[in-house]
Amino acid sequence: MRPPARRGSPQSGKAGAPAPATFSLPVRVYYQDTDAGGVVFHGRYLNFFERARTEWLRQLGFDVRQLAEDEGVLFIVRELRVSYLRPAQVDDMLTVTATVENLGRAQFTLDQRVLRGADLLVRGSVNLACVGVRGLKPARVPPRVYGALGLSAGQEITHEEEA
């Protein structure tokens, strides 16, 4: 699922590259998130992942609606892998995280996790593709977004890479 590591990415072993930044979002489990037994329904974790990704982009300075209007791009889920390790239950306080795992020109992969305290409940790898609003054809991640993602991933982005 992971494309080859890009120059300057944490996976490439470049000395001095900062560690990837992890975004965290607190989420309370409500009754509507659970089945009749009070256990979180498996599909709700995908909603938690989506919420964390949206808030993470907002924290980086990008509103998804503005990206669609101003840059003409959307980020769509291309591939998703999820491991369910432990269940969450009604009224649990969870932390949902997002960390850049890999960054490409037209797509990027996030490591996403759901934790209850220090306990890892769910882990996902989410590959997002950048597509044009019209036609939904692959598009390059806009330079300012690419730069912010690179910094979040601990990459050093050069002017050549931004072009």
35 tagged catalytic:
yes
User: Could you say which DSSP state residue 152 is in?
Assistant: H
What token pair was written down for 106?
């037209």
Question: Which of 157-161's residues contact partners 24+ apart within 8 Å by CB, and which partners?
Answer: 157/8, 158/8, 161/7, 161/8
Candidate list 35, 63, 91, 119, residue with the active-site label: 35
- The 3-state DSSP class for residue 59 equals helix
- Are the C-beta atoms of residues 12 and 150 closer than 8 Å to each other? no
- Give Cα 12 distance to the centre of its chain: 20
Closest residue by Cα to residue 47 from 88, 16, 19, 7: 88
Largest CA distance in the chain: 55
As annotated, the active-site residues are 35
